[in-house]
Structure formats: C-alpha cells, structure tokens
Structure 1
C-alpha cells in the first residue's frame, strides 16, 4: 500500500485550517488570560500571548458575589431537570411516531407546523402567566418539551433498527416499554448522548425565559447574571468594594472571569461524552 504524498494544495489547506483554528481558539485563550492578569498588565498588552504576572483577584471578586452563585445553582438545576425532561419527551415521541398508530401522519404535520408558526409573544406570555409560572424556576424547564429537529433525527435512528429485534422480544412477552428501555435505548447510546449534550448546552445557555419571566435575583439563570455583569461591570465592582477592599480588579477582568466561570462547567462534559458524540454525529440521517 503506497503512502499518499503531500501536495502543494494539501499544504495550503493545512495552513488555512491552522490559521482558522487559531482564530477560533485565541478569543477563548485571551479571555482566560485577561481574567488572570492585573490591570496594568492588561493595559500594556491587551492581546497577550503569555502573561507576565498572574492573579486570581478577578475570580475572588466574582465568587464573592452571591448573585452569581445563585445563578450557578439555578442553571445547574435547570440544566439537569431540563435535559432529563427534554430527553424523556423526545424519546417517547420519537418511538411512538415509528409505530403505525392512527393519525400518525397528521400528528407529524402538527409537530412540523410548530417549526414555522407560533402563537406570538403576547399570547405566550399570557399562557405562562395563567399557568402560574411567572417568577418560577420551572418556567425555564417546562415550556420547551423537545426540539423538533432532534426528534426527527432520533425517530429516523429508531426506524433504522431492525424490526426483527422487536418481533423476537414480543414473542417472548415483552411490551413496548420493555422493548424501548431494554432493547432500543441500549442500542441508541451514541445518538442519545449526542442529543443529551445538545440539550444540556441549550439549557445551560438559557436566558430568554429568565429575562421575560424571572424578576427575583435569587433564581435568575447564570447567563442572565453574566449578561448583567458584562453590560455594567463597574456597578458589579462598586457593589463588592467593601468586601474586597484589598483586591486589585478591573471591569474587563471581571467580565472575562465571569465568562470563563460560565463556560467552564459545560465544556468539561465534552471529554466524557466525546466517544459517543463523534459517532452520534453521523447517525440518524434525516428522512421522512
């Protein structure tokens, strides 16, 4: 077997991809550096490659603020409950729509209809208000049952599983729930892990419902707290001056420390789900 030689085109593509990769990664790297350096270091070199001096003062200031801690707790709860809730409804809906049930096509059309049309913001707000979810943490969990595209992908994956597996299980006396949870789902771990990761990221980034329906600072989601810090870090600094009188901080450092604190937990999930994630990306091709 002959080895393929690198051509000039390959080298050009490699250089372009390397430049593109660095352009994508450097903002994250720079955000971490800005959060770790004192103000005078940042003032001298905003776009540094390596810090001359490191300090954790910005992180001390961030974690000294109870609003961000409360936001972290709220977002962890919303992410866990929301992901479980989303996956349960997505799995049950996808599996049901693989069966020859009465009105299956009509149900499919109704679900797809909601991808293109909605009731509007004012009716939606009135619905949430009538359900008693205003200023309730569940308002960031219950309204979105599942993502339609994710459901279609999972339904297509279930359709690709051989019918013989279900038929043999039914001969042994298994019902649909046993077939789903003991046969179908164990065979679907890659696509389930991929969709769980997508749902988890969506839930972790939740801020829209918090902005519309949450008024209490104690249950504001983390992303909304982060937005408030980024928009006006100077007020954040003033609010913590008494407790952190001996700490050298500046608004950009506080902003970047908040960004890093917000994105770090969800990024830690990727290494654990990587083997499922990479295989799951190629599964469940969309088809009718």
Structure 2
C-alpha cells in the first residue's frame, strides 16, 4: 500500500510540475510583448542604435515618455478615452442591469423581447446601416456615437438575466410582504447581491471602450475628439511616430522608442483597475452561468 501511495504522489508531483512549466511558458509568452515594449521605451538613443533590443536595457532613460507626454494631442486623446470609458461603462451597466432585471420578471411580451435580444446577438445590421442610423440621429462627430450604439451587450444581458433568476424568489416575496416595490427590490436587494457580476461586466465594458478605435475613425472627423487608440494607430501604423504627435522640436527620440512608450502609456491605465476587481472577477464571471 505504501509503495502505491508513493508512486501516486510522485505521479501527482510530476503532473503538477508539467502544469507549472506549461503555465509559466504561456504567461511568459503573454508578458513578453510588454517586456519588449518596456525595454525599447526605456533604452537610450545610443544603446538602441548600438545594441538593438535587450530584455534589460543597459541604461534607463525617460526621453521617450517625456516626449510623448509633451504632446497635447496625445494627452487630450487620453482624457477623451477616460471620459468615454467612464461614461460608457456607467451607461452599459445601468441599461444592462435594469433590462436584465425586467426580463427576469414575469412581464408582458417577455418572450418577444428576449427573442429580439437573442436575434441581435446572432445578426447585426452591418457597418453602413449602423453609420446611417448614427448620422440620422445626430450622433456623428460626437463621443456619444461611441457610447449609445453599444449601450447594451446582448451576451452580458442574457448572463445578467440568468443571474437575477438564480436569486431565490423568497427574497422578492419577503420584500413584497414588507411593502417594497420593484424599484426598491432592484436597488436594495438585487444590485447589492450582483456586485461581483457588475464588477466583471464593468471590466469587460471598460476594456471594450478603451480598446475601441474603428468606431472613432468611422464616426469622428475632428482629430481633437479622437480617442487614444486612434492616436496610437497613427503613431504605430499610419505615419511617422514623431510627426504624429505634432511637437515642434529639433531633437526627438528614435521613432521605435516613441512607439513603445506611447503603447505602454495607452495600455497601463486600463490595467490598473484589475487588481482591485480581481476578487470579484472570477466569481462574477461564473455567476449566472448555472441556474441553481
């Protein structure tokens, strides 16, 4: 018996080591682009020309970051993106939670509304009809064009509805007996219980708003209203990185270091809230997936 237990423990240890090694390689593959960008952005002009990419730069300089942050265009687009992300996420959570709660209750035409929600998840109108709707509703050349058309995600709505249905009905019945109406039940019972789900979906919505660039190109003609991802696209893909920032200067860091510094500055703000939401994230993703 002891020999079998020893062999079994050795087998478990070996399998665990295999899992740890595999997960470490996957994590390193995901983190390597960030390490690459950070290394290039902190490299000096001379070290970059002489040694190229090094995982750990020979010397750390902040010339590229100073240059990027001196650009009014970049800083303005960063504030525009923060505004779009904050306002858009609040609107997303408000309409998703209220609509999901309504669909979780026995209301008139519930099946018809649920069918329409699922239909929009499977079929979309397309880019041109959506652009015409945005234009005719007066949202063109406004940040609301990046918020209102994506106010509700059908997938998140369905998961949220399933979560509300998984809450014991006895809570609603007890609240009704105490004289609470639907708004009071939603605000004082449902929302406090759905904090993990709201945190998870809020992060999903926020990342979607922050990373969105095609809608900014499509609906915004004024460069002063462009979000950070459109400016980052100009820096990395379209034109010369230094010229894209529109800074009159005689000396500028290498274009590659400017690209990497701009990429990190445009990425880090959306990563910062994750550690604070991590305790709710895993639980929020699983809530509503299985009805109790």
Q: Which category of TM-score, normalised to the shorter sequence, fits these structures?
A: over 0.9
| 1:232 CA displacement | 4.3
1:168 aligns to what? 174
| 1:173 CA displacement | 0.8
1:272 aligns to what? 276
Deviations 1:177-221 (A, max 9, x none): 100010111111111111111111111112121110101111101
The answer to whether structure 1 residue 179 and structure 2 residue 185 are counterparts is yes
Alignment of 1:197-216 (within 5 A): 197-216=203-222
1:154 aligns to what? 160
Find the residue that maps to 1:281 and give its secondary structure. Answer: helix
Could you state the TM-score of these two structures normalised by the residue count of structure 1?
A: 0.92
Partners of 1:19 and 1:238 lie apart in 2 by: 36
Deviations 1:201-248 (A, max 9, x none): 1111121211101011111011001000111452534865633x345x
Partners of 1:155 and 1:241 lie apart in 2 by: 50
1:75 aligns to what? 81
Partners of 2:73 and 2:82 lie apart in 1 by: 14
Partners of 1:177 and 1:167 lie apart in 2 by: 14
**Structure 1: which 5+ residue stretches go unaligned?**
none
2:102 aligns to what? 96
2:257 aligns to what? 253
| 1:10 CA displacement | 2.8
Please identify, of 9-18 and 145-154, the stretch whose mean Cα deviation from structure 2 is larger.
9-18
Could you state the TM-score of these two structures normalised by the residue count of structure 2?
A: 0.91
**Structure 2: which 5+ residue stretches go unaligned?**
none
Partners of 1:238 and 1:263 lie apart in 2 by: 18
Number of aligned residues: 284
2:33 aligns to what? 27
| Higher share of residues assigned helix | 2
Taking a change above 3 Å as real, the CA distance of residues 283 and 238 of structure 1, as seen in their structure-2 partners, is: closer
1:49 aligns to what? 55
Alignment of 1:66-145 (within 5 A): 66-145=72-151
